[in-house]
Amino acid sequence: VGHIQLPQSWGEEQGVDWTHLWNQAGLECHPAATNRRVEQLLWLKLAANCVINPLTALHQCTNGDLPTVVPNFAKLQEEILSELAAVSQRQLQESNSGCQQLTLNQQNDTVADSEADPLTTSSMLDFCTRVISDTKNNKSSMLQDILNGRKTEINYLNGYIVQKGLEFGLPTPANEGLWQRIRDHELEIERHVAPKS
């Protein structure tokens, strides 16, 4: 949130320094330490989306209202992220089997220390808390989809975690519950929109 991270080697083959060009354009951009770091950042982004999108859609609130509007928000958020951390760690093990643990070059990595840790429930909680605070007045894309009677991206967020959990033999009841509730909303919208014969 707030800046762009690219793999250090991005654009080398074409002789383009994308980080420099994006900074010249006024966008804060930093090289990520490794491709694995980029993968970790993608998991953090997915974590924030798996919490914020379905909960704002179900409770029809802005991002910043989540902690006060959603009953037992802290507990539910931790359950969602605990499942996501287990799935992400297993996925990273699968995709990087045999690779050494990521070592970050602290001079090149300007992201907060909590994000530099391996993907844990705690680092995901820190990231989500920051995103909710930084985007407190936003209406999530999923909330807007629900309000406008459109299909959501739930299958690619919590649905993806459920799918990977099944693949790895990891339970994901919190994510599955949110996935099912949003799917129920979508089916209800489809019933109201479907032409009557």
**129/109 Cα distance (integer angstroms):** 21
Closest CA to 141 of 150, 133, 132: 150
Q: Is 29 helix (H, G, I), strand (E, B) or coil?
A: strand
Tokens found for residue 16: 């383009």
Q: Is 118 helix (H, G, I), strand (E, B) or coil?
A: coil
**48/130 Cα distance (integer angstroms):** 9
**155/149 Cα distance (integer angstroms):** 16
DSSP state of 137: T
Hey, what amino acid is at 123?
S
Q: Which of 45, 75, 136, 151 is catalytic?
A: 45
Closest CA to 166 of 52, 95, 90, 80: 90
**114/65 Cα distance (integer angstroms):** 24
**9/20 Cα distance (integer angstroms):** 13
Q: Which residue has the tokens 């690219």?
A: 6
139 is catalytic: no
Active site residues: 45
